[in-house]
């Protein structure tokens, strides 16, 4: 094996095995095609495979990762660092999100290539690089005064202001010994191969002197509703025809009920299936980003309210105007061993599942804002069409698609939709509905 030299090519010759040669020489070549590495030829892929604007570039998991020719960018302030990657027409440009194992691996590969370029030996190629990446700790508290310190409330951020929770439990994510934040404001993530540390480290604003790792991908396809949701100042996620927000101001249940005012028609979240609980946990805090000491009020309360667990006690979904609807007790996603008789309000844990807590405790809470088009319908929960009134039933994936299918069908006067299964039932007639758990019946307004 010859010593690799930056800018040369490697070739194989019988008896010589692998050697290096200047890249101006001409040799026969062997091609290899593997189906498992196939990917669509998108605009981002085309840019990545044919551009000369960057020192190093690679297409990984739907994104083009690149080191610009001048990667050492000194942003004027932390407020502008999200915008320091060069723009590419027709593509999203952002500081790299290392949110998959493949993306973490490419950050290390780029680092090793940079170290080889400056003459580092094979034993020392993980000891000379630090990449600026697009990860920030967006805490609800100042300084180090709350339970979010350390590995909680980390987000991937963008120039537009979008944010997604960072899954810091990916194997090999944090460098050994990190995060270390305990006495100062280390609210930014960088990727290191330095001083024996390989992986993400948390640090202060000194990261602005490092090299930038950029990411380019296809344009976002958010609806206006999804865009507004993602731009919330709170951790937020669109889903289940709603926008969910994590509100990190401690309130009692009674006060939290009136706290969902960021968008129209807000109320404490109705988390009524295990599937929805899993979605909430993954989409709002990546399963691990919520401090375990911070349960979150949902919209579920038990009546009558008392310390004992009377036989006639039932769980209800509570709305800001004081109205309530009986919850389907058999479907509620309780944590193992729950609910306990000691609590009359249901709170969400880190897993997304429910646990009974005191209604007078001061806690964070989750709000749910229904999509505005829901106001166009009149409906009743937990009903669907009778056999004689049903036109068709298929899985369409979203409530919007179900509504659109009804609008396009001349005989459809209402539809029923299941949030848990995505099943859409088109119905003819005006009132031919029957009880059906998990379905929402909507009358079409033409």
Each residue of 91-130: pLDDT tens digit? 999 999 999 999 999 999 999 988 888 888 888 888 888 9
pLDDT of residue 2: 35
pLDDT of residue 5: 43
Q: Tell me whether strands 414-418 and 433-443 are parallel, antiparallel or unpaired.
A: antiparallel
Name the helix (H) or strand (E) containing 438. strand 433-443
- What residues contact 443, with CB distance under 8 A and at least 6 apart? 377, 378, 379, 413, 414, 430
CB atoms within 10 A of CB 144: 15
C-alpha distances out from residue 3 to 19, 78, 119, 375, Å: 8, 41, 11, 68
Higher pLDDT, 78 or 432: 432
Going by pLDDT thresholds of 50, 70 and 90, the confidence category of residue 245 is very high
What is the set of domains in the chain, with CATH numbers?
A: 1-31 (no CATH), 33-217 (3.10.100.10), 224-370 (3.10.100.10), 377-443 (3.50.4.10)
Within 13 Å of residue 141, how many CA atoms lie on the same side as its CB?
Answer: 11
- Report whether pLDDT(199) > 50: yes
Per residue in 280-291, pLDDT (tens digit) is 999 999 998 998
pLDDT of residue 265: 87
Rounded to two decimals, the pTM is 0.78
CB atoms within 10 A of CB 362: 13
Helix, strand or coil, per DSSP, at residue 203 = strand
In this structure, are residues 227 and 161 in contact, taking their beta carbons and an 8 Å threshold?
no
pLDDT above 70 covers a percentage of the chain that reads: 85
Average pLDDT, integer, range 204-218? 86
Going by pLDDT thresholds of 50, 70 and 90, the confidence category of residue 4 is very low
Q: How far apart are CA 86 and CA 234, in angstroms?
A: 28
- Report whether pLDDT(240) > 50: yes
- Report whether pLDDT(202) > 70: yes
Sheet strands (E) in 175-222: 188-194, 197-203, 211-212, 214-217
Q: How far apart are CA 8 and CA 4, in angstroms?
A: 8
- Point out which residues pair with 441 in neighbouring strands: 380, 416
End-to-end CA distance of the chain: 74
Q: Which of 46-60, 64-78, 126-140, 293-307 has the highest mean pLDDT?
A: 126-140
- Report whether pLDDT(50) > 50: yes
Out of 18-22, 338-342, 430-434, pick the least confident. 18-22
pLDDT of residue 284: 96
- Report whether pLDDT(23) > 70: no
- Report whether pLDDT(25) > 50: yes
Going by pLDDT thresholds of 50, 70 and 90, the confidence category of residue 321 is confident
pLDDT of residue 374: 60
Q: How far apart are CA 373 and CA 404, in angstroms?
A: 11
pLDDT of residue 186: 78
pLDDT of residue 383: 85
- Report whether pLDDT(395) > 80: yes
Q: How far apart are CA 414 and CA 389, in angstroms?
A: 10
Per residue in 332-391, pLDDT (tens digit) is 899 998 887 778 999 999 999 999 999 999 999 999 998 876 655 556 667 888 888 888
- Report whether pLDDT(204) > 90: no
Mean pLDDT across the chain, nearest whole number? 84
In this structure, are residues 112 and 126 in contact, taking their beta carbons and an 8 Å threshold?
yes
Tokens 């890249």 sit on residue: 23
Tokens 């709350």 sit on residue: 146
Higher pLDDT, 428 or 70: 428
Average pLDDT, integer, range 310-324? 79
Is the bond preceding residue 49 a cis peptide, omega within 30 degrees? Answer: no
Going by pLDDT thresholds of 50, 70 and 90, the confidence category of residue 405 is confident
């Amino acid at each position: 094996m010859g010593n690799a030299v930056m800018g040369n090519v490697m070739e194989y010759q019988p008896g010589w095995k692998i050697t290096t040669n200047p890249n101006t020489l001409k040799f026969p070549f062997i091609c290899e095609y593997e189906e498992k590495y196939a990917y669509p030829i998108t605009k981002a892929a085309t840019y990545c495979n044919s551009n000369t604007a960057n020192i190093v570039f690679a297409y990984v998991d739907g994104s083009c990762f690149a080191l610009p020719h001048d990667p050492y960018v000194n942003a004027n302030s932390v407020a502008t660092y999200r915008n320091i990657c060069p723009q590419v027409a027709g593509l999203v440009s952002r500081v790299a999100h290392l949110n998959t194992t493949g993306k973490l691996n490419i950050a290390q590969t780029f680092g090793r290539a940079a170290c080889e370029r400056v003459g580092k030996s094979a034993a020392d190629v993980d000891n000379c690089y630090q990449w600026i990446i697009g990860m920030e700790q967006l805490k609800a508290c100042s300084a180090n005064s709350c339970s979010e310190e350390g590995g909680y409330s980390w987000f991937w951020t963008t120039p537009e202001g979008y944010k997604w929770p960072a899954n810091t439990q990916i194997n090999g994510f944090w460098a050994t010994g990190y995060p270390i934040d305990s006495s100062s404001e280390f609210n930014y993530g960088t990727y290191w191969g330095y001083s024996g540390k390989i992986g993400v480290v948390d640090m202060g604003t000194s990261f602005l002197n490092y090299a930038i790792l950029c990411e380019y991908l296809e344009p976002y396809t958010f609806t206006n509703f999804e865009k507004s949701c993602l731009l919330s100042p709170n951790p937020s996620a669109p889903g289940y025809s709603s926008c969910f927000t994590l509100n990190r101001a401690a309130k009692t249940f009674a006060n939290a009920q009136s706290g969902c005012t960021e968008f129209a028609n807000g109320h404490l979240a109705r988390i009524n299936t295990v599937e929805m609980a899993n979605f909430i946990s993954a989409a709002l805090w990546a399963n691990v980003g919520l401090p375990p000491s911070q349960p979150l009020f949902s919209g579920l309360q038990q009546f009558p309210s008392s310390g004992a667990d009377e036989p006639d006690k039932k769980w209800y979904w509570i709305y800001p105007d004081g109205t309530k609807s009986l919850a389907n007790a058999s479907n509620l996603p309780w944590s193992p061993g729950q609910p306990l008789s000691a609590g009359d309000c249901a709170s969400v844990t880190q897993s997304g599942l429910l646990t009974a807590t005191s209604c007078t405790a001061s806690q964070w809470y989750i709000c749910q804002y229904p999509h505005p088009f829901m106001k166009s319908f009149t409906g009743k929960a937990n009903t669907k069409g009778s056999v004689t009134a049903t036109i068709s039933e298929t899985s369409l994936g979203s409530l919007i698609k179900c509504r659109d299918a009804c609008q396009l069908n001349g005989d459809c006067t209402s539809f029923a939709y299941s949030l848990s299964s995505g099943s859409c039932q088109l119905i003819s007639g005006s009132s031919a509905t029957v009880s059906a758990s998990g379905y929402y019946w909507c009358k079409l307004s033409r």
